[in-house]
Chain A
């Protein structure tokens, strides 16, 4: 009798813990409802399925615990001798099949809805890189990179001494968000440059892999203005956890104004590539480019992480000659994480980053690379290619 009591107490304690834990969590976190017709369908579907499996679980566990409490030797319960019942087995094969059909019908409907193609009002190409995103607006001819913002990037270094709670939207903020108009049917074309990434904003209701050499398709139609945040969802190397996505859904007017603004910026940028830069300008801009594009692997002080990520400076001078350095930056190095920056960054970015790299940790005054040089090299590359 005493042992029975112990067991019942233990069970009660466990049940209480489960109920409390369940209650605390259930108040807070379920899947987000999202802001597209599709994300809301998925949310409904998730809740339906969760409801069904919870009921199944409760029924099975009730039967089991009834048996555990009643059919026990300590209560003198004598075992029955049956070990088979065709009827029962037919019932508990048939009923689950019916339940599965009930689940499959809405699942199929939502999936077919989601795979409806056609009627795109605008197209955006998303390209995944280690470890940032590039967005190309195909109609509006706007193109930019989107990477983790600097505040998060500083805070996330080991021993940064910065409390992540003091950083607004820690790890979920970017330098350039993806701006899109609301109430517009948008087609995303996803691909990647190096390894597989996966583009996921929970409020849009799906994630889709960005795979090098393939183009995937996905759709959205955002109904509410707002800022929606997500992350890369496919392991893509060491900074997989540090390539967030921010979607800013704005009104049609605000979007048009933003497009005009971006166009002006691009015209200025074209001018920038052609002119002659001073050393100070290059160093200044280079520091920014270096921290955004290179520091993740080669480290903020250029010391690298041998052997995967070589040091860029050693004993107060750059490692390697400028010509080979230039070649690697423009064309990348196959079989490593070093990608070709030639087609990826503006000539002045590359020139500035190179100038910065060859001077920042050097005792002597190092070489200066002009944007025009890079532009010419790119041109030669294009003619040959």
Chain B
């Protein structure tokens, strides 16, 4: 019934809809903007991946073969900035744009024009950032953390980098405001907060994190800017400043930032596992509370990134205990996912495979994170490949796997076609095997004493580096298959039903596939029979 009205409205709107470039430049439609975010993110994923391959190629064998150390440092720095701010964050915002209105029964985002603007800032920001590679002084080379005094030694390109970070920050903050406004104001009647899908919940919490910490980053990099170009001495000891102050400010942003990169992934996995287990998500309420606890704790653990700067004993103990406590709500989440699968009726389509891969490999990354919290051992692990292995397990097999799971899960809804399931499975197995060959040996490299961010290494590290590089190239080129699968699915394929997946529940599956440009012009009525989550005692 409501679908008829939807279709009618479509015709009405389409008559006025611009075509060609203007359609995308001036779009205020959450689905089109979501698509642009996702395409942009995929492009940045490939750019950042190419940089990673340059790094791994240089590290294939001891000795310098391909690039000089300055360029190597530019690659490690840019790889991180591009992947964090260009690939993972825009992907999550893109998913939120597409799915949050569909999941809460809203016709669009609350602030559509701002939505347009927050996307279109990004191409300019990344043009500025990537352009520094072609400047005489080269791109930033002090690591993505931009620690002074090292970052202040660079040329004028630092100003471009800082401006780019400001633009990304503005984009993120506007995106976050939009998401909060949408979720708090535009839910369909009956869609109470505790009936919302977990993806919506995790994004609501993530958006608050973004608003809280992006301005902190903006402040930190602005101080770098004035130190470098206007003669201030915030971080210059010779002028009465303190280089460690920067690290405290940066990581006050940086730690919540890591949860910005993972909480939406928790949400995605919490949607997918119940669907393919044909069973309700276990412990919905505790999942919401666990997410909120993790978000709160993320504000009081920042100094665990800098145990070696020389802190008082009491401070180190506090930051160690606070960090260890994060394992409790994170554990609750993992146990709940396993309990969701328990006595379910599972099938293993590609989204489920990626979600299961996420649970296993993210857990490995989480456990090595717990090891890193132990201060005395951290004095050995810190700034080695052990840390590199740890954060790639949580970011690649964590965040990126979850994003890929989400793409496979919702692609039929977006395009109206089923993707090629066989190729999807090959993509999963290929990625999972090689990503472990890529990152698992790095644990051993770190324990054996290889520092991170070095372009060349002693010969005892040669074998593991060679294995890691082989894994890197296989994993990296395997992602072209992902691009091909998406392209093929957009072009055509088996028609998708509205429900798409047998076990799928929630409002997004009540609209046709592909979802028409305008949905829920008339808000649906939500009660327990439609809601994704409801508690049933064991």
Contacts and interface: CB of A to CB of B under 8 A. Distances in A.
Q: Is chain B found bound to chain A in the same assembly?
A: yes
Interface of A: 7, 10, 14, 17-18, 21-22, 25, 28-32, 41-42, 45-46, 49-50, 53, 56-57, 60-61, 63-64, 67-68, 71-74, 77-85, 88-89, 92-93, 96-97, 100, 103-104, 107-108, 110-112, 114-115, 155-158, 160, 162-165, 169-172, 194-196, 198, 200, 202, 205-209, 211-214, 216-217, 230-242, 305-308, 335-337
A81 B360 contact: no
Contacts of A308: 70, 137-138, 154-155
A100 B73 contact: no
B168 interface: no
Given A103-B324, A241-B454, A308-B155, A211 B309 contact: yes
Given A60-B338, A84-B538, A163 B63 contact: yes
18 contacts: A14-B432, A25-B444, A32-B449, A53-B371, A71-B341, A80-B343, A83-B280, A83-B535, A85-B339, A93-B332, A103-B324, A170-B62, A170-B459, A205-B380, A207-B379, A237-B153, A307-B136, A308-B70
Contact of A108 (B63, B280, B317, B344): B317
Contact of A71 (B283, B344, B384): B344
Output the residue of B371, B436, B464 with the most chain A CB within 10 A.
B371
Contacts of B348: 7, 72
Contacts of A202: 380, 449
Interface stretch (B18-26, B180-188, B193-201, B237-245): B237-245
B444 A214 contact: no
A198 B243 CA distance: 14
Interface string B356-385: 100110011001101100111101101110
Interface string B406-428: 00000000000000000000000
B327 A67 contact: no
Given A71-B344, A84-B282, A172-B458, A45 B376 contact: yes
Contact of B149 (A18, A171, A195): A195
Q: Give the interface centre of A22, A31, A32, A157 by most chain B CB atoms within 10 Å.
A: A31
B228 interface: yes
B472 interface: no
Contacts of B237: 211-214
Query: Which interface class (under 10, 10 to 19, 20 to 34, 35 or more) fits B?
Result: 35 or more
Contacts of B153: 195, 237, 335-337
Contacts of A232: 451
A236 B150 contact: yes
A271 B445 CA distance: 48
A200 B308 CA distance: 10
Contact of B538 (A50, A85, A107, A164): A85
B454 to A, nearest CB: 3
A194 B331 contact: no
A103 B464 CA distance: 30
Given A214-B243, A307-B155, 8 more contacts: A29-B444, A67-B338, A83-B534, A88-B335, A103-B324, A158-B64, A198-B383, A211-B244
Contact of B338 (A22, A25, A64, A81): A64
B334 interface: yes
A46 B377 contact: yes
Contact of A28 (B284, B308, B444): B444
A233 B382 contact: yes
B221 to A, nearest CB: 17
B371 A50 contact: yes
B283 A49 contact: no
Contact of A231 (B238, B308, B451): B451
Given A93-B328, A115-B313, A155 B347 contact: no
B377 A63 contact: no
Contacts of A112: 313
B189 to A, nearest CB: 24
A172 B451 CA distance: 12
Q: List 7 tightest A-B contacts by C-beta distance, closest first.
A: A213-B237, A241-B454, A83-B280, A82-B538, A206-B379, A216-B310, A80-B343
Nearest to A216: B310
Most-contacted residue by chain A among B73, B153, B371 (CB, 10 A): B153
Contacts of A211: 237, 243-244, 309-310
B486 to A, nearest CB: 23
A32 B441 CA distance: 16
A208 B375 CA distance: 12
A216 to B, nearest CB: 4
B429 to A, nearest CB: 6
B283 A111 contact: no
A193 to B, nearest CB: 10
Contacts of B309: 209, 211, 216
A202 B446 CA distance: 11
A239 B278 CA distance: 56
Interface in B424-444: 429, 432-433, 436-437, 440-441, 444
A235 B147 contact: yes
Contacts of B360: 61, 64
Interface in B195-246: 228, 236-238, 242-244
B524 to A, nearest CB: 23
A156 to B, nearest CB: 6
Nearest to A110: B376
Contacts of A237: 73, 141, 150, 153
